[in-house]
Amino acid sequence: MMDTFGKTDLATTKIVYGCMGGAGAFGPQEERDSIEALRAAHEVGINFFDTAEVYGNGYSEQLLRAALGGQRKEIVISSKVAGKHLAPADVMTACEGSLKNLGTDYIDLYMLHWPNRDVPLEDSIGALQRLKEQGKIRWYGVSNFGREDLTEALALGDIAVDQLPYHLFFRAIEHEVQPICEAAEVPIMCYSSLMQGLLAGKYRKLDDFPVERARTRMFDHRKWPEATHSEHGAEDAGQELLNALWRMVEETGISMEELAIGWLKSRPAVGGVIVGTRNGAQSRGLGKLLDITLAPEILTALDEASDRLKHELGTDIDMWGKGRTR
């Protein structure tokens, strides 16, 4: 099932295939597995694929070309220009590089990946508008833009998306950003939707979570060496949520992955939920997520179970606590 993505003319599935992992972001990855994963995701019905120039320094885009270049007219591609490339000339150059990597003459949705405080936002969005006028991109938007940055961007151009970290363990965008998106009819594309696997039903305790993935603001920096922020985290609230999720899995028979994705699909302004895989078998399992719809009482229970953690983590939408958003 496809919907029109926000104010655009793009017909997209609510599940978006995330291409970052295929380029090795989560560990060693065989190219044949990445290509099979992309093809299998398309075969189960996903038509929306999200990548970026920084994923493998263009390798992710090249993999998408190798896997689905022959089906270009059947898929919607979103890509992102790196925050360090937001000067107008650099935006134009980066887009040309992505077009070459993807083997296409247009990108459906092109985003500023992170804010850049050294380049006026007006200049960056002006470059996106020129790319749109040239037909090299169909629509443009932003990623990781908080309340102030998004408000400024909306005044400068026709913003078609804000790609943001959003899941049951991180609801910071709900305080300030989600209401802006809803009012402006700007769809949210959720990334990290399964919290690096924590919401995939593999772990009973936060202490069992792989140390290299325990980097978000929920984790106490004094305990986890990969956490580069300076916060004490909210691990008690996080474990409380994890316990509640396991109880719901056992009571309802619905998998944790389906609970997590079904909840996101129901949220205000959400237009796409990014999910990635490592191989074809995992991608074939994504089909069930296209159709998952949760009953109102389950959605309410998920809201209540995650409410304490939401409020303890507060309004900072930078999930890693690096002070990059405002």
State the sign of the Cα–Cα–Cα–Cα dihedral 170, 172, 177, 181: positive
Long-range Cβ pairs for the range 218-221 (8 Å, 24+): 218/169, 218/170, 218/309, 218/313
Q: Can you read off the two tokens belonging to residue 144?
A: 């990781």
- N-terminal to C-terminal alpha carbon distance within the chain: 35
| Catalytic residue selected from 55, 140, 166, 191 | 55
**1 touches 291 (CB < 8 A):** yes
State the sign of the Cα–Cα–Cα–Cα dihedral 171, 177, 179, 181: negative
State the sign of the Cα–Cα–Cα–Cα dihedral 37, 39, 44, 47: positive
State the sign of the Cα–Cα–Cα–Cα dihedral 22, 28, 31, 32: negative
Cross-strand pairs, 12: 3
Nearest to 30 by CA among 284, 280, 200: 280
Which DSSP state fits 54? T
Q: Active site includes 55? A: yes
Spatial separation of the C-alpha atoms in residues 272 and 57, rounded to whole Å: 24
Spatial separation of the C-alpha atoms in residues 123 and 115, rounded to whole Å: 12
Nearest to 238 by CA among 251, 253, 227, 250: 227
Taking residue 83's Cβ as centre, other Cβ atoms within 10 Å add up to: 19
236's CB contacts (< 8 A; 6+ apart) are none
Q: Can you read off the two tokens belonging to residue 106?
A: 């247009």
Report, as residue numbers or ranges, the catalytic residues.
55
